[in-house]
Chain A
């Protein structure tokens, strides 16, 4: 019985990180958006690996189905600004690379030093019910505030986009 979880984790990480790199370095804006979708899907896979299937489903539904679609719409409706922006790196890239490596080193050090509060418990079978109950019980106030925030954002967007 070989360890399949690390292998799957490695594959998913390669997908997520590779797609993220392609998002940043690709010249074609539309392709960047598609690679972003691949990143989101990889993240959903990682959530499934962590047995958080609801989060994975919501990730695909919201990030891929709504946010990515919005990004695609914005790209498609602003076609004029899609002229090839040329090389994605300018002459200062060695300095940037040094800083990126240093930043990565600091982050890695910090993340390895922290004592993460892990719990050795099983994911309960009825976690969906408990999630619902928690959202409507102890966490109802943040839930309602988030809804109001979304409503305000929607109203604001409609107000800005109205034709007067």
Chain B
């Protein structure tokens, strides 16, 4: 095997060698059990190490976007900053409010971290390097994303704090609102690839990544993914200036650390899913497949951070009406149009061109329609105020 191929399949080669060595003195079921356990440990370890890196990356990125340096004391270029943060959180006193619901209060961080980690089971990290090739992978991802809502509501409620409750309810509403357009835009990809399995979806992009066929749907997915992980312009429920810290106001020490870590685990998970569904996963020339995968994922993460540090926050009612009144009809229309074009049964390149043209047309049309409707609503609001003012003037 060439050197590049060996590098590419390094993990698989090592794993097979280990399995063969274990099989010499253990029965088959023990070997399977141990190998599966090792895969789990490896995935969790990779997830947590990436989270450490992401915390540092976020703080450096936000600093550079704001024309300052960022952490540069804890280690060279501040790379030990995440470890410093972790140590700080571990040594803080664990405060539980007096009348808080202790059971739910303690379980909420766990309910938040577990689904985020479980998503990693279906992410194809490289050629043949997916922990579990489920044939309902996309449905599984959606199901895990929907469990975050439970965690957030539990955390907000059990804190016995009006503002935490408010924050929790707000996030619950936001998560519910943005789940549906996300599911519909993922369904468009499933339609194109003909399978819900992430491995199959990556293979279906061998000739052309789906982002070049359906940029509008990618945009909808990107926006919904940002909203699902409370990032970017959708972080009102945890905005520091509004509700102290939203649903995790009352959490201190490692529990807060768990929420914090869960957010970054989620961030990498959704970036990996976006890479898998839209950017062609681990495909790329020359270099090993896992290198391409991580490069693309981190590029997507960088775009998420870029968006977060550039745009101001949405207000909660704008957030919700944007999801229900704009994104949901747009996602439905996109799915409908994609289904139509796929049903026409053209060849590969004509279908790709047709998808691109129709998708851009639908998105631009939706933007125009949305803008027109917004302008009309604003005009009507202005006219109503003028009529009120005139009526008041008359009555004087």
Binding site for B on A (CB under 8 A): 1, 28, 30-31, 34, 37, 53-54, 57-58, 60-61, 64-66, 68-69, 72-73, 76-77, 128
Contact = CB atoms under 8 A, between A and B. Distances in A.
A82 B333 CA distance: 43
Interface stretch (B139-147, B249-257, B278-286, B359-367): B139-147
B104 interface: yes
A60 B101 CA distance: 25
15 contacts: A30-B154, A31-B103, A57-B139, A57-B142, A57-B143, A58-B143, A61-B143, A61-B146, A64-B143, A65-B143, A65-B179, A66-B146, A72-B150, A72-B172, A76-B169
A30 B157 contact: yes
Contact of B139 (A34, A54, A69, A73): A54
B134 interface: yes
Q: Is the interface of B mostly helix, strand, loop or mixed?
A: helix
Q: Is the interface of A mostly helix, strand, loop or mixed?
A: helix
B143 A128 contact: no
A58 B183 CA distance: 12
Given A65-B142, A76-B169, 11 more contacts: A34-B107, A37-B150, A57-B140, A65-B146, A68-B150, A69-B146, A69-B150, A72-B154, A72-B157, A76-B165, A76-B168
A61 B169 contact: no
Closest 8 pairs (CB-CB, A-B): A65-B146, A60-B143, A57-B139, A61-B143, A72-B153, A57-B136, A69-B149, A57-B143
Given A69-B172, A73-B172, A64 B135 contact: no
Given A64-B146, A72-B153, A128-B196, A58 B172 contact: no
Given A61-B142, A72-B153, A53 B135 contact: yes
Given A60-B143, A76-B153, A69 B104 contact: no
Interface residues on B, range: 20 to 34
Interface in B218-248: none
- Residue of B104, B146, B154 most packed against chain A (CB within 10 A): B146
B176 interface: yes
Contacts of A58: 139, 143
Interface string B31-54: 000000000000000000000000
Contacts of A65: 142-143, 145-147, 149-150, 179
Nearest to B156: A76
B169 to A, nearest CB: 7
A41 to B, nearest CB: 9
A53 B150 CA distance: 22
B25 interface: no
Contacts of B196: 128
B338 to A, nearest CB: 16
Given A65-B179, A76-B169, A34 B154 contact: yes
A37 B107 CA distance: 13
Nearest to A41: B147
Nearest to B134: A53
A15 B176 CA distance: 27
Nearest to B195: A128
Contacts of B195: 128
Contacts of A31: 101, 103-104
B392 interface: no
Nearest to B196: A128
